[in-house]
Amino acid sequence: MTANKENRAGKKHRVVAAIGLAALLLAACGGEKGNPGGSGADGGSDPAPKETPKPVTLYMLQDRATISDEEFANLIAAPVKAKYPHISVEMVRATGGVQGLSEMISAGTFPDIMFSTYPQIQVHKEMGTAENLSPYITKYKMDLNQFDPAAMQTSRIYGGSSTDVYAVPFSLNFLALFYNVELFDQFGVSYPTEGMTWDQTMELARKFARSANGVDYRGIMIPGVTDLGTQLTLTRVDAKTNKALPDQEGWRTVLKLIQDVNAIPGNKNSTLDHFLKTQSLAMLPSYDARFAALEKLYGTPDDFKWDITQFPSHPGKPNTTLASSGHFLLASALGKHKEEVFQVIQLLTSEANQNLITEHGRFTGLSNETIKNKYGVNMKSIRGKNIKAVFKSAFAQPYQPTVYDELVHKELTAIAKKMIETGMDVNTALRDVTEAGNRAIEADVKGK
């Protein structure tokens, strides 16, 4: 007996009558389970057949959150179809940024569910495309305590509410320090260890500043400036004053790290290809997305010995990585199938499905340690790797976002590139990017 059928029955009778009828209906449901022949508990005629749900196609917007066609088919579409045969999920990849989203809204083609990065939670909230999930969470009794606390805090901060929920985590992008074991052995350098600071990591990186047999070796490639800022929970814009980069000393630390990395001879403009293809890069502090690329190399002529350890941290914040950079699920406020959407969200974040995605190389959005320890068990390249060291770090606390963050992000990225290309000193770079950020904010305010 389905809940929907019971609800329909309840609407046809008054409260007193419904109480008695509910008991009879429950008994009848029990009789159906105990009698495969289909007759009622009293041996009477067959009950009315269950109403077959009408087919529903839900469109999922892939909005900046990375997912391959194969992952979507196996980790999202297939589990949904197995649980709800009448529901099909198809993916729509977002293009054109905010303008592209606006065009879908105007055309009436905005998807039913969003698969997004955490900054996009704020974007969808402001555009009116994010549905408040709180009523559905209550109705379907979803336990928010099952999720990673840092991820849920990120959801609430970017959703702009301490009470309402607009997104729940599907998977998290944890961080690790990947390193080429063969290069460390070749040059007699000690492997990186757990709990290292950025300064200690830089010392190791400098030992690879050399050329040998026509190959130019590199020590390290680090994440981008905006990602690095999250490790120290650095706000981009002061929410009260609308001034850029209020924590000047924190941003000075980040820019100094970028300067130090690029001051190592031969280390400028390192790319993923230097680690994965030419295999001339010794260390790569990066997201878990690298595992997928390394899995593809496994057993091929291009495979190489590598391992991982804990992500480097700052002395004042030991055992802390960048902020939680997960992939979140949101329901569209413009959709026509909100009940089905939430049922899909609840299924995709269930322990069973989180087991599935974690075993296949996506780190669970749940706080369940048993599931976490299953990370990558179906990935041959990860076997024997120091995966447990990675989880000794916690995510940094999320910073408070503002609507002007993207303006400052552009200026930060531009100044980091200029530092690398010209050798600009940290103090000049910090002054220039702060001034440029403030000008961009002021221009945007005046234009509204």
Angle 203-206-211 from CA coordinates, rounded to 5°: 160
* Structure confidence by residue, pLDDT tens digits, 45-90: 556 667 889 999 999 999 999 899 999 999 999 999 999 999 999 9
How many whole angstroms separate alpha carbon 276 and alpha carbon 304? 9
CB 254 within 8 A of CB 232: yes
* Structure confidence by residue, pLDDT tens digits, 113-147: 999 999 999 999 999 999 999 999 999 999 999 99
In the 3-class helix/strand/coil scheme, how is 143-170 assigned residue by residue? CHHHECHHHHHHHHHHHCCCCCCCCEEE
* Structure confidence by residue, pLDDT tens digits, 427-448: 999 999 999 999 999 999 998 7
Residue 12 in this model has a pLDDT that exceeds 80: no
* Structure confidence by residue, pLDDT tens digits, 225-240: 999 999 999 999 999 9
Under the banding of pLDDT at 50, 70 and 90, the label for residue 28 is very low
* Structure confidence by residue, pLDDT tens digits, 234-260: 999 999 999 999 999 999 999 999 999
Q: Tell me whether the CATH fold assigned to 56-173+324-372 matches the one assigned to 176-322+397-447.
A: yes
How many whole angstroms separate alpha carbon 233 and alpha carbon 256? 16
CB 274 within 8 A of CB 282: no
How many whole angstroms separate alpha carbon 356 and alpha carbon 77? 13
How many whole angstroms separate alpha carbon 367 and alpha carbon 153? 13
How many whole angstroms separate alpha carbon 49 and alpha carbon 442? 65
Where exactly are the structural domains of the chain? 1-51, 56-173+324-372, 176-322+397-447
Superfamily of domain 176-322+397-447: Periplasmic binding protein-like II (3.40.190.10)
For the chain, give the percent of residues with pLDDT over 70: 89
**Out of 9-18, 94-103, 357-366, least confident range:** 9-18
**Out of 38-42, 141-145, 175-179, least confident range:** 38-42
CB 373 within 8 A of CB 389: no
- CATH number assigned to the domain covering 56-173+324-372: 3.40.190.10
Tell me the residue length of the chain: 448
**Out of 38-47, 394-403, 416-425, least confident range:** 38-47
Under the banding of pLDDT at 50, 70 and 90, the label for residue 44 is very low
CB 62 within 8 A of CB 33: no
CB 270 within 8 A of CB 221: yes
Under the banding of pLDDT at 50, 70 and 90, the label for residue 27 is very low
Q: Which amino acid is at 350?
A: S
Q: Average of pLDDT values for 299-322?
A: 97
DSSP, residue by residue, 365-424: SB--HHHHTTTTTT-GGGTTS-HHHHTTSEEEPPP---TTHHHHHHHHHHHHHHHHHH--
pTM score: 0.79
Cβ neighbours of 381 (radius 10 Å): 19
Give the pLDDT score at 21. 33
